């Protein structure tokens, strides 16, 4: 059993369920949690934050967070993670972000107001956890997407879920136009959008 903390609208939750895992989805925003419940009814859901995970002591094998850990109050989140993890369990964090190369990709990335350029490889960053307890990895990948699939993805992001409807519509139309233009230029039904995933796994030692 795993906990998806800061689960948002359930992008990671869905991937975990597909792997046959039991998922406890923890999300403080009820609007996003409503979306998650509708899309992933098999997940157990909790309207709560990382500072007070509503699960029992030593109850999960892993605590996971996708594009969310930086929002959590660090000390409380670490204490709660230690509390709910079973012996040998671990915390897994991932930040997946656009890593645009072509000019149109940079315009597309800017459609998402939460976008920030990925860190340069080799950047000096010791991280928040003891080095001897931590593993890190960076993966580059390419999503070949249609205009419709890209817009559907944007609609799952918390910043789009929460923004005013008029602004959301304008940004989605801009994204659709950019991906459509790239598809036409390539003579293809899909366009390549470059990404980078930064992953961290922490196996807690003694507090």
As a three-state string, the secondary structure of the chain is: CEEEECCCCCHHHHHHHHCCCCEEEECCCHHHHHHHHHHCCCCEEECCCHHHCCCCCCCEEEEEEECCHHHCCHHHHHHHHHHHEEEEEEEEEEEEEECCCCHHHHHHHHHCCCCCCCCCCCCCCCCCCCHHHEEEEEEEEEEEECHHHHHHHHCCCHHHHHCCHHHHHHHHHHHHHHHHHHHHHHCCCCEEEEEEEEEEEECCCCC
- Count other Cβ atoms within 10 Å, centred on residue 67: 18
**127 — pLDDT class (breaks 50, 70, 90):** low
Query: What does the alpha-carbon distance between residue 132 and residue 56 come to, in Å, rounded to a whole number?
Result: 27
The answer to the question of residue 136 being in a domain is: no
Residues 88 and 107 in one domain: no
Partners of 106 in beta bridges: none
Q: Is pLDDT larger for residue 27 or for residue 119?
A: 27
pLDDT of residue 3: 98
Mean pLDDT of the 118-143 span: 79
Check which CATH number belongs to the domain holding 28 and give it.
Answer: 3.40.50.150
Residues 110 and 191 in one domain: yes
The answer to the question of residue 129 being in a domain is: no
Mention every residue, 6+ apart, whose C-beta is less than 8 A from residue 181.
Answer: 104
pLDDT of residue 118: 66
pLDDT at 162 over 90: no
Mean pLDDT of the 196-201 span: 94
Residues 80 and 167 in one domain: no
pLDDT at 63 over 70: yes
Residues 1 and 87 in one domain: yes
Tell me the percentage of the chain whose pLDDT exceeds 90: 81
Q: Which domain holds residue 18?
A: 1-95
The answer to the question of residue 135 being in a domain is: no
- Count other Cβ atoms within 10 Å, centred on residue 3: 30
pLDDT at 121 over 90: no
Residues 145 and 72 in one domain: no
Chain position carrying tokens 């010791």: 126
The answer to the question of residue 178 being in a domain is: yes
Residues 66 and 90 in one domain: yes
Residues 39 and 106 in one domain: no
pLDDT of residue 176: 98
Q: Is pLDDT larger for residue 123 or for residue 86?
A: 86
The answer to the question of residue 156 being in a domain is: yes
Record the tokens describing residue 137, joined without a space: 């990895």
pLDDT of residue 120: 61
The answer to the question of residue 86 being in a domain is: yes
pLDDT of residue 119: 62
Name the average pLDDT for the chain: 93
Q: Is 119 exposed, middle or buried (0-12, 13-18, 19+ CB in 10 A)?
A: middle
Residues 81 and 109 in one domain: no
Residues 109 and 166 in one domain: yes
pLDDT at 126 over 60: no
The answer to the question of residue 206 being in a domain is: no
Residues 40 and 82 in one domain: yes
Question: Looking at the 3D structure of the chain, how many domains does it have?
Answer: 2
pLDDT of residue 18: 97
Record the tokens describing residue 207, joined without a space: 């507090």
pLDDT at 161 over 90: no
Residues 185 and 104 in one domain: yes
Query: What does the alpha-carbon distance between residue 164 and residue 159 come to, in Å, rounded to a whole number?
Result: 10
Residues 2 and 32 in one domain: yes
The answer to the question of residue 34 being in a domain is: yes
């Amino acid at each position: 059993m795993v906990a998806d903390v800061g689960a948002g609208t359930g992008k990671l939750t869905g991937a975990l369920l597909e792997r046959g895992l039991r998922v406890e989805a923890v999300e403080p925003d009820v609007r996003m949690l409503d979306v998650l419940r509708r899309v992933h009814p098999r997940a157990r859901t909790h309207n709560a934050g990382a500072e007070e995970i509503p699960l029992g002591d030593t109850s999960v094998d892993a605590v996971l967070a996708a594009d969310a850990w930086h929002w959590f109050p660090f000390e409380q989140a670490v204490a709660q993670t230690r509390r709910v993890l079973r012996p040998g369990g671990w915390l897994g964090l991932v930040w997946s972000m656009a890593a645009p190369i072509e000019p149109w990709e940079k315009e597309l990335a800017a459609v998402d107001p939460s976008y920030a350029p990925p860190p340069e490889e080799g950047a000096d960053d010791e991280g928040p956890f003891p080095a001897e307890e931590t593993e890190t990895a960076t993966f580059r990948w390419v999503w070949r997407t249609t205009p419709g699939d890209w817009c559907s993805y944007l609609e799952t992001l918390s910043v789009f879920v929460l923004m005013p409807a008029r602004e959301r519509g304008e940004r989605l139309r801009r994204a659709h136009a950019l991906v459509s233009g790239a598809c036409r230029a390539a003579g293809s039904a899909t366009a390549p959008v470059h990404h980078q995933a930064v992953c961290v796994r922490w196996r807690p030692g003694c507090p």
